[in-house]
Copies of this chain bind each other. A is one copy, B any other.
């Protein structure tokens, strides 16, 4: 955790100690990165924090809310369920990601359920508070627009991948995406801790669990990846994976 040029934090304690800084989730949130220091401490007082254990539901489907939620620790999935009960995972949220931007202009129903994948801490900021912040700090609006734009771009990419007929390309794209977000480069390849089980991967990619198993098995046979337990993965030949992803 990098802290540079940080001044004092009178509200919390009388000096900028590590403990207090860690409590300020605003420092970890890219959305607020463009704001001046004083604004961050100001925001911090308006934020409501909550913790959820792994597996619990953070936002039940159909909740009417007027808050924007930011993940300040852990991972969560956003998903919808179709009439026959099939789950479709839309996003994997990690530290720093936010959702609920649709409530910014008016309270409304959340379009997806959010569930904790690991123990998760969230910060919630009310519509009113965020709107006031935007009016006082227009650069926050620009940052928000940029973040939304990035997300749009990712969804556009996802739609192209899902629209294409090749399941292999979808899987390769997903693995590359996870490698980039959660991977650690080592001498023998990229080590990734997958955020989802095979079942979860299946819901995310939109195919059957058995198909994921078979396809990953195939990739392992071809020496492209190595499975290390249920959530572990080592990517051996990332260039080959990139080729498969097209």
Contacts and interface: CB of A to CB of B under 8 A. Distances in A.
A141 to B, nearest CB: 4
Interface string A151-168: 111011111101111000
A155 B159 CA distance: 8
Protomer copies: 2
Nearest to A140: B141
A104 interface: yes
A86 B160 CA distance: 10
A206 B146 contact: no
A40 B156 CA distance: 31
A171 to B, nearest CB: 14
A141 B152 contact: no
A82 B88 CA distance: 24
A17 to B, nearest CB: 34
A111 interface: yes
Interface residues of A, number: 41
A156 B112 contact: yes
A205 B141 CA distance: 33
A148 B148 contact: yes
A212 B148 CA distance: 33
A156 B86 contact: no
B88 A145 contact: no
- The CB with the most chain B CB atoms within 10 A, among A86, A102, A160, is that of A160
Given A88-B159, A90-B159, A138-B141, A146 B105 contact: yes
Contacts of A148: 145, 148-149, 152
Interface of A: 80, 82-84, 86, 88, 90, 101-102, 104-105, 111-112, 131, 134-135, 138, 141-142, 144-146, 148-149, 151-153, 155-160, 162-165, 203, 205-206, 246
